[in-house]
Structure 1
Amino acid sequence: MPKKTSIFALRCTIGQEKSVATLIEKRVDGNPDADIKAILAPEALNGYVFIEAPSQREVNAIITGIPHVRGKVVGKIDIDELEEFLIPKPSTEGISRGDIVEIVGGPFKGEKAKVTRIDPDKQEVVLELIETQFLIPVKVHADYVKLVEKGEEEGEKM
């Protein structure tokens, strides 16, 4: 019968969450007696790493001596509180027609553009480049745009 586990929050230096998670993972891999089930370092939450283990003592034993850990384990966390970090959000969320975006990847990197159409199924946006002489519609994956300013509401997503 599997042991019951809990999720514990661990405070760490802001910006070092991934390195702390990686060091914990290496330590767990090198210790066959460690009973750590999962490690989560969400990008959206600075300064915390979440560890799934049967007891707080197990977590404290594995984090001893790891750099950038700030103090002991903060406490147990309910899985419902972490749900927003576990379920990926669509790339088109928060972008609407008329918004001004900056293209952050691809051949038009660094260009500003206006959103003319959104395809949430394909996670794509159609843009008109602002700083060009001609209005050229460009289709870009929503991961490659960053919202610069909200535009006037021109209507619902298409």
Structure 2
Amino acid sequence: MPWYAVYTVSRQEKKVATRLAEIGMEVYCPMIIQERQWSDRKKKVEVPLLPSYVFVKLESHDRELVFQVSGIVRYLYWLGKPAIIKDAEIDILQKWLQDKVISFEVVGIQKGTLYEIPSGPFIGQKGIVEKIDKSQITLILEELGVKIILHK
């Protein structure tokens, strides 16, 4: 059975994943911990790695079953067909997310250059530098088709 990516209503990823699991579907919603700043405090919260996306594993003839769950907008398409995500790609995401700490040093990196992530869940992945700030770097990981922000 292949994995498919479904696009969800904003901030509904966890609820959609729970509802899909309740009706017996194999589902994966990769989550990360981020530190968020409120006016009076900082707090660590669990947020989706890929906002508005949840992965479901099902047969192609069962694809319409996901729409029984509220909060799903559509499937992610590639070349006019629902995009199929390989088991190996899901396994890589799961492996990457086992590590919780990412640290890096921004030295001599320019916008548009290729940068290899030295540690953490995305270790060894190469991305094109899109933006550099004092405490973070934004990379486009073309192989996965995602943009990530690494915090120092």
Q: TM (normalized to structure 2)?
A: 0.47
Bigger Rg over Cα: 1
Q: TM (normalized to structure 1)?
A: 0.45
Which has a greater percent of strand? 2
